[in-house]
Chains A and B, each alone.
Chain A
Amino acid sequence: MIRTVSVNEIAKNIQEMCIEANHFLSSDMQKAMSRAKESEESTLGRQILGQLQENLAIAGEEMIPICQDTGMAVIFLEIGQDVHLEDGPLEDAVNEGVRRGYVDGFLRKSVVKDPLIRENTKDNTPAVIHTRIVRGNQVKITVAPKGFGSENMSRIFMLKPAEGTEGVKNAVLTAVKDAGPNACPPMVVGVGIGGTFEKCALMAKEALTREVGVHSDVSYIKDMEEELLEKINGLGIGPGGLGGTTTALAVNINTYPTHIAGLPVAVNICCHVNRHVVRVI
């Protein structure tokens, strides 16, 4: 049955979600951090993980953003094909929600209007919006503010099919090794394998919004996630890049069919401030 949803309602939710995402991490991230503190072998590493937990507590209690880089707002919208949107253009509403969230919520404005002229837009708009039309009559909104310390260390590799599984693993390890301390470890590593150049990048980004501890339902991919996490933690980079056995909290891999001639691999790295809030309206 067709359901009418006002874009103003979407804007209001996005406003609240931007503020929530920047002050509270989801419980899976908090749990992963606690587990890491138990297993970390380096004394300094444990001390840093403790500081990150303390940081999360202060952020929530005093409403100080977890990180000063409150990110570029990445918004995923899954819109049911039986939804009728009213009250104006959808993308304008999304940007209005981001604007109000960042201005009213004391979040940092980190977006420049032109990539080369670099004048700050002063309200953190525009957002990066990914919209999919799906079955049903609801709208699922995911707000994932993305910091650029880790975004800058992300990579795409257009591998040859002959490079196979080993090639994919080496690509991920190369990206993480090169990112090192710059990406604020412990990281969450989002990987997209297959599709096209842009599809693998989008899959890697979406993989970051998957709960830490939830694995791919493809069994060999689940095995690869576990193997890569162990290998990444064996790189020695550690919390803050200052040495240790906790370099990543999770490796999340998404896959898609691809062309006979290609094996695209994207590695989207996120710091430990892996922010995402989901609401369904």
Chain B
Amino acid sequence: MMDKRIRVPIDKEVAKSLRAGDYVYITGTIYTARDAAHKRMDEILRQNGELPINIKGQLIYYMGPSPAREGRPIGSAGPTTASRMDKYTPRLLDLGMAAMIGKGKRSPEVVDAVVRNGAVYFAAVGGAGALLSKCITSSEVVAYDDLGTEAIRRLTVENFPAVVVIDSEGNNLYETAAEKYRKTEENRI
């Protein structure tokens, strides 16, 4: 495990060099999208249309913020559960999306697409939205304003803390880390 500082949009070689368990601080420009925005993007792609953002090389943060108070760029801004986006993710990775920040497990199809495209899946700490909001210096809605919190936003982030969970070799921190501290064997029902 190593602490690393990385810039986004992320360089392909940097993405490939990250390993599950690395603790990273992310600086640069990222985009937010969650359930409703993914559904719309998927509908566009099905009709061979053009996405509202050029996703190539970009990082998508699965996040829908609370409203910003006056004078602040954003409200509370922690990650949402990534698996709800699994259905749409392989296609976006194949189109060149380089990285994602979320929380929670991903499907085998997503892991395969991460490996196939040399991408990376980061987890941020769920339920720490106030703390994480301090790493966001600007926020601007760039598409789907009518979706409210689910709109696509462009964020500027500075030293945003995250952990590499799935790397380009298919290593999965959620699987290996829990084993290390496991003392209970349960009988599944």
A positions within 8 Å CB-CB of B: 41-42, 44, 48, 51-52, 54-56, 58-59, 62-70, 106-110, 118, 120, 122, 147, 149, 152, 157, 159, 163, 166-167, 170-171, 173-174, 177, 180-182, 184, 231-232, 234-238, 240-245, 271-273
Q: Any chain A CB within 8 A of the CB of B149?
A: yes
B178 touches A152 (CB 8 A): no
Contact B126 A184 (CB under 8 A): yes
Binary CB contact string for chain B from 144 to 163 against chain A (1 if under 8 A, 0 otherwise): 00011110000000000101
Q: Are B131 and A55 in contact (CB under 8 A)?
A: yes
Chain A residues contacting B180 (CB-CB under 8 Å) are: 42, 236, 243
Q: Is A68 touching B178 in the complex (CB atoms < 8 A)?
A: no
For the complex, give the distance between the alpha carbons of A110 and B123 in Å: 22
Residue ID in chain A nearest B133 by CB atoms = A64
How many residues on the B side are at the interface (Cβ–Cβ under 8 A)? 53
CB-CB under 8 A from A177, the residues of chain B are: 186, 188
B69 within 8 A of A: yes
Q: In the bound complex, what is the Cα–Cα distance between A245 and B66 (angstroms)?
A: 31
Q: In the complex, which residues of chain B have a beta carbon less than 8 angstroms from the beta carbon of A120?
A: 147-148, 150
A66 touches B127 (CB 8 A): yes
B120 to A: closest C-beta gap in Å: 16
Are B78 and A68 closer than 8 Å at their CB atoms?
A: yes
Given contacts A106-B69, A182-B81, contact A235 B130 (CB under 8 A): no
- Chain B residues whose C-beta falls within 8 Å of the C-beta of A66 in the assembled complex: 76, 127, 129-130
Tally of contacts, chain A with chain B, CB under 8 A? 190
Q: Is the CB of B131 within 8 A of A242?
A: no
CA A152 to CA B126, docked complex, whole Å: 14
CB-CB under 8 A from B23, the residues of chain A are 44
Residues from chain B with Cβ under 8 Å of A238 in the complex: 177-178, 181
Inter-subunit contact B125/A51 (CB<8 Å)? yes
Cα(A243)–Cα(B130), bound, Å: 23
CB-based contact A181/B123 at 8 Å: yes
Cα A108 to Cα B177 with chains together (Å): 33
Q: Contact between B182 and A235 (Cβ–Cβ < 8 Å)?
A: yes
Q: B128 on the interface (CB 8 Å rule)?
A: yes
Most buried by B among A62, A69, A171, A235: A69
Cross-chain pairs A/B with CB under 8 angstroms, 26 sampled: A41-B181, A51-B125, A58-B131, A64-B129, A65-B66, A65-B76, A67-B76, A67-B78, A68-B64, A69-B129, A106-B68, A106-B69, A108-B64, A120-B148, A147-B127, A149-B126, A163-B189, A177-B188, A180-B105, A181-B104, A181-B126, A184-B103, A231-B186, A232-B184, A240-B126, A244-B177
Bound form: Cα–Cα A159–B80 in Å:
32
Tell me the bound Cα distance from A152 to B78 in angstroms: 17
Q: Is the CB of B131 within 8 A of A243?
A: no
Question: How far does the alpha carbon of A170 sit from the alpha carbon of B184 in the complex, in Å?
Answer: 11
Across-interface contacts of A65 in B (CB, < 8 A): 66, 75-76, 129-130
Residue from A54, A68, A118, A237 with most neighbouring chain B CB atoms (10 Å): A68
Residue of B81, B176, B188 with most chain A CB atoms under a 10 A cut-off: B81
Q: Are B189 and A167 neighbours in the complex by a CB distance under 8 Å? A: yes
B59 CB-CB contact with A under 8 Å: no
Chain B residues with CB under 8 Å of A174's CB are 186, 188-189
Q: Are A149 and B75 in contact (CB under 8 A)?
A: no
State how many angstroms separate the Cβ of B158 from the closest Cβ of chain A: 16
Given A236-B180, A236-B181, the answer on whether A58 and B134 have CB atoms closer than 8 Å is yes
Q: Is the CB of A106 within 8 A of B128?
A: no
B67, CB-defined interface residue at 8 Å: yes
Cross-chain contact of B149 among A110, A157, A173, A244 (Cβ < 8 A): A110
CA distance A165 to B84 in the complex (A): 34
Residues of B with C-beta under 8 A to A166: 187
Min C-beta distance of B89 to chain A, whole Å = 15
With CB as the reference atom, state the residue of chain B lying closest to A61.
B130
The 3 closest A-B pairs by CB, nearest first: A243-B177, A234-B184, A234-B183
